[in-house]
Structure 1
Amino acid sequence: MKHFFYKGNQNIITQEQDFDKIRETIKKDLSKILDTRNLSFLIGSGCSLGVNGIPTMKQLADNLFEPKDDIHPDLKDKVFETEHIEILEKFKINYKNEPFRTNLETFLGTLYSFRFYLEKLQEAKESAFDQDLEDLNKIIKRTKEYILYECLNEKNKGEDGDIVETYQQFYRKLSLRDSNLQKPNVFTTNYDLFSERAMDNLGISYTNGFSGFVERFFNPSIFNYALAEQMDISSLKWSIIDSFIYLFKIHGSVNWVEKESNNKLFSIQEIQDVNFDRLKTEANYMIYPSPLKQNASLGSPYADLFREFQKRITQKQSTLVTMGFSFGDEHINNIIYQALTIPSFRLVIFSDMGYYVGGKYEPARKNIEKLKNLNDPRIWIIGSDTEVDNDTDRNVIIEDGHKGLHFFDTIANDLFPDYTQDKIEEANKNLIELLRTKGEGND
C-alpha cells in the first residue's frame, strides 16, 4: 500500500516513513483540527464493510442481478430469479449497465418513476396497465426486501462483533471530547444500525430525530434539544452532559416505517423490534431516495435531515470529516461544496484515491481528485492506495504489514485522538498539583 496525507495537493508524508511515524503525524494534526468548535462527521458505506459487514451498493447489485452459485442460503429466495429478469427485459430495463449496475438506489428510483408514469397513463387514458403495474411492483418488492435483509445483516448477527467494536471505539472517543465545545454531529448515508448498537452498548445518549418512548415518531425539532444535568439542586444551573451525540441518517434507516397517527405531524415511526419478518410486512419499511416523493411524510424526513446537514456544516469554524464516503452522491457533494465557500470551513477526507495496477496508477475517485487539485490547504485527504498485479485483482487488498489509513478500524483505533487518555492525564496532573499544594501548606 502507498500511504498519503494531502494538505491541498501536497503529500506531507513519504513512503520511507514507517507506519508508526505516519500514524503519529496524522494523529497529532487531527487532535488539533478535531477541537474545532463545530465538528461533524459523514459516515459512508465503507465504514460498515468487513467480512461480516454490510456489502457496498455495487456488491449488493452484483448479488441481486446475477447471484453466484455459492450465495448465502438465506439470500436464495430474496435475489432475482428468472421471472424477475424476464420482467426487466420486457420493460427494456438493462440492469447490467450503468447507472443501475453499481447503484441500487438509482435502480429503485427508476422503478418508482416508471410506476408513477404507468399510473398516470392509466388514469388519463383509462388504459389497462394492471399487469404491467403488478409486474413492476413485484420487482420493487423483491429489490426492497433484498436490500432490507442485507442491511439488517441478519445472516451475520453474532459474527459482526469486530465491526460493532470499531463503531464503539469511534463513539467512545468522540463522546469524550472537550465538554466546552459543541456536541458533535454524525451524519450517515447508511441504512444499518451499527451506530445505534454501538452507542447503546456504551450507554451514550444520542438523538436521531425521533421523540417518544412507547411509540417513537419523527420530530425534527428534537435536533434543537440537548440532554442536560442539573448542577446544583438549589439553583437553576444546568450543563449538557458530556456523552451526547447528534445522529442524522440522511438516507433513512432499516427500522423506519410509515404509520399514520392522528396526533403526529409526521407519519414516520422508528421500530424497536427490528427483524426481517416483522419489517417486511410494513407498508414502507425503508425510505429510499427517489426522484418522486411518495407522499408528504416520505418527502419530509429528507428535507429536514438535509437542511440540518447544510445548517450544521456551514456554521463558522466548522470541520467535516468524511469516512467511507466516495463522494458519489451529488446532492451531498453540492452541500459540501457550498460549505467550502466559507473561509473558516475545513474538510478532512479519509479515502483511497485509486489503484496501482502493475505499477501504473489508475485513479478511481474522480470527485476526490478534483478536490485535491483545488490545492486548498483547508482540504486534507488521508488514505492508502492498493497495489495489485493486474486489473482483475484490483478489488483485492494486498497486505504488506500495514493497514490502510482510510480503513475505519485504523481511524478509530490508531488515528483518532484518545480523549479518554487526555482526561486521565489531566486528572492526574490536577491531583498531583493538589497534593503538592497541600504539602506546601503543611510546611
Structure 2
Amino acid sequence: MEQIELVKILLKNTYINFLLGAGTSYNKVDGKMHFPLMWDLLNFIKGDTKVLGFYNSLKKDTTIPVGVGEMLASLYDDYLFSEEANIEKFLSVLEGVDLYITDIDFRKIVEEQRNHIRMLIRDRLNNSDKDTVINNYISFYNGLKNVKEVNGLKNQIFNIFTTNYDMMNEMAMEIQNIHYYSGFEGIVNRKFNLAYYNYDFVDSFRVNHANVKVTPNHMNLFKIHGSLSWCMKDGELIERNPYEQDFLPEIIYPSVDKFKNTNLIISYSALMRELSNRLCQENTTLFVSGMSMSDEHINKIIENALTINTFHMVIFCATVAEIKKLQEKYKAYRNVIVVDREYKFCDVADLMQNLQGGD
C-alpha cells in the first residue's frame, strides 16, 4: 500500500498526536532573521563575545577556585564546543555545577553566565521573523480542522507536543479562533495546572438542560521543553507575556540540577508523563515533523509505545539525508513509517488540508 494512503487511514482510524520540533519553525528567507534550528542556536551562542570571554578566562583567571575553572572549561568543551553539543544539555550541566562550587561569589558569576545565555536564546527567538512561518502554522491548523471534518472526528481532541520554545503554535491557533489548552489557568496569574488538559470546552451550555452533550472543540498543546512565556515566580511555574523583557524563560531539560527547583521538575515530569500516557493508548498514531529524533528522553517514551501493536509513528523529513538516517534508525520496526519523500512542515500542512479521507 502506498505510504500516503496508509497515512490517510491512520488519520481516520486512530487517536491523533503530533510531535513538532525546531524544523517546523525553520523557514529561511533571504534578508530575514529566520527561526533557528538547534544547531543554529548553538552556533549563535558559541559566537557570543561574553560567552567566549568567560570560557577563555576559566583556565587563566587566578581568582577562580582551584580546579573549578578546569572543570567548567571541560563542560564547555563537551557540551558547547563538541560535535555532540546540545544547548539544552549545556544549560542543564551549567546549572548542575552549583553543587560543586562552594565559593559564593564565583557561583554568582556562573549564574550570570547562565542567565546571559538564556537571554540570548530569548532575544534570538523574539527577533526571528514570524511572518516567514506563521502562514505555515495557520495552514497546518487549518489542515487539522480539515482532518476532523472529512474523517468525522469532531469528538476527538488532537494532542500537539512540541519541543519548541517559540509562540508560533499559540499565535496560529488564536488567529484561527481555535480554542486550546496549554496547561495554564487564570488570567492575571496564569499558573500551571495539568488538570486543564482533561477539561472540555463547551460552545454553548444550557443550565437547565438535563443531558448536556459535550463536543470537544479544542486542541491540547504540550510544550515539553518549556516556553518563551514560562517563568518561575515565588517557586511556582507561571505564564507571562513572552515579549516582556524583564524575565528569563524557563527552558526545561531533565537533569539533576533541576531538582533544586521542585515545581519546575514536577511540571516537566508531568508533561513527559502526559506524552507517555497518550502515546500508550490503544490505536494511537504519532505524526512527527521537524524532529531529528535525537532527544533521548523522548525516544525512550516512543520506544515504549512502539512495543504496542496498535501504535504507529509516521515521520516526515525535510531532507533526503534525514530520510535515510531515520529509515536506518527504525528499520526494525514495522509500525514506523518514515515517509520516503521530502516533506517540509508546509508540505505536511498541505497534506492535511487536501486530505479526502481514507478507506
The alignment's TM-score, normalised by the length of structure 1, stands at 0.69
Taking a change above 3 Å as real, the CA distance of residues 299 and 242 of structure 1, as seen in their structure-2 partners, is closer
Contact 1:208-1:246 within 8 A present in 2 as well: yes
Write out per-residue CA displacement over residues 3-33 of structure 1, whole angstroms, 9 at most, x where no aligned residue: xxxxxxxxx8xxxxxxxxxxxx655432221
Pairing of 1:225-304 with structure 2 (within 5 A): 225-230=199-204, 235-241=209-215, 243-260=217-234, 267-271=236-240, 273-280=241-248, 285-292=249-256, 293-304=259-270
Which of 289, 304, 309 aligns to 2:275? It is 309
Write out per-residue CA displacement over residues 381-425 of structure 1, whole angstroms, 9 at most, x where no aligned residue: 0155xxxxxxxxxxxxxxxxxxxx221011112x22546x78xxx
The structure whose Rg is larger is: 1
Contact 2:7-2:314 within 8 A present in 1 as well: no
Deviation of 1:250 after TM superposition, in Å, equals 0.7
SS, match of residue 347 in structure 2? helix
CA distance in 1, matches of 2:56, 2:113: 9
Percent identity of equivalent pairs: 26
Which residue of the partner structure matches residue 219 of structure 1? 193
Contact 1:321-1:347 within 8 A present in 2 as well: yes
Figure out how many residues of one structure are paired with residues of the other and give that number.
335
CA distance in 1, matches of 2:245, 2:106: 27
> Are 2:91 and 1:108 aligned?
yes
Stretches of structure 2 lacking an aligned partner (at least 5 in a row): 61-68
CA distance in 1, matches of 2:108, 2:208: 66
Pairing of 1:385-396 with structure 2 (within 5 A): none
Which residue of the partner structure matches residue 25 of structure 2? 48
Deviation of 1:50 after TM superposition, in Å, equals 1.6
Taking a change above 3 Å as real, the CA distance of residues 368 and 237 of structure 1, as seen in their structure-2 partners, is farther
Deviation of 1:87 after TM superposition, in Å, equals 3.3
Contact 1:30-1:417 within 8 A present in 2 as well: no
SS, match of residue 133 in structure 2? helix
Which residue of the partner structure matches residue 162 of structure 1? 132
Taking a change above 3 Å as real, the CA distance of residues 363 and 205 of structure 1, as seen in their structure-2 partners, is closer
Which of 337, 347, 351 aligns to 1:410? It is 347
Which residue of the partner structure matches residue 34 of structure 1? 11
Taking a change above 3 Å as real, the CA distance of residues 26 and 37 of structure 1, as seen in their structure-2 partners, is closer
CA distance in 2, matches of 1:315, 1:286: 30
Pairing of 1:145-224 with structure 2 (within 5 A): 145-151=119-125, 153=126, 155-156=127-128, 159-176=129-146, 177=148, 178-224=152-198
SS, match of residue 238 in structure 1? coil
CA distance in 2, matches of 1:110, 1:233: 53
Deviation of 1:232 after TM superposition, in Å, equals 6.6
CA distance in 2, matches of 1:255, 1:88: 36
SS, match of residue 410 in structure 1? helix
The amino acid that maps onto 2:111 is N
Contact 2:201-2:217 within 8 A present in 1 as well: no
Which residue of the partner structure matches residue 82 of structure 1? 53
The amino acid that maps onto 2:135 is E
The alignment's TM-score, normalised by the length of structure 2, stands at 0.84
**CA RMSD, Structure 1 to Structure 2 (Å):** 2.7
Deviation of 1:207 after TM superposition, in Å, equals 0.4
Deviation of 1:290 after TM superposition, in Å, equals 4.2
Deviation of 1:364 after TM superposition, in Å, equals 7.4
